[in-house]
Amino acid sequence: MARKEARAGLDRFKMEVAGQLGINLKQGYNGDIRAHDAGKIGGEMVKRMIDAYEERLK
């Protein structure tokens, strides 16, 4: 159950980041987006997760 909730949370996070970057994602399969855009989304997600972790260490 926790795994499903974690997956759902990451999906929401991904959609939020994509929206803020101006990249249109839809629920489910998004294999039609450019690799560059997918990389921007993933990179921004990692950056934000690292920033949040570092903030908690303070």
Q: Residue range 8-22: average pLDDT?
A: 96
Query: How many domains would you assign to the chain?
Result: 1
For residues 13-19, give the mean pLDDT. 97
Structural domain span for residue 15: 2-57
Q: Are 11 and 34 in contact (CB under 8 A)?
A: no
Give the mean pLDDT of the chain.
Answer: 95
pTM: 0.86
> In terms of C-beta density within 10 A (0-12 exposed, 13-18 middle, 19 or more buried), how is residue 32 classed?
exposed
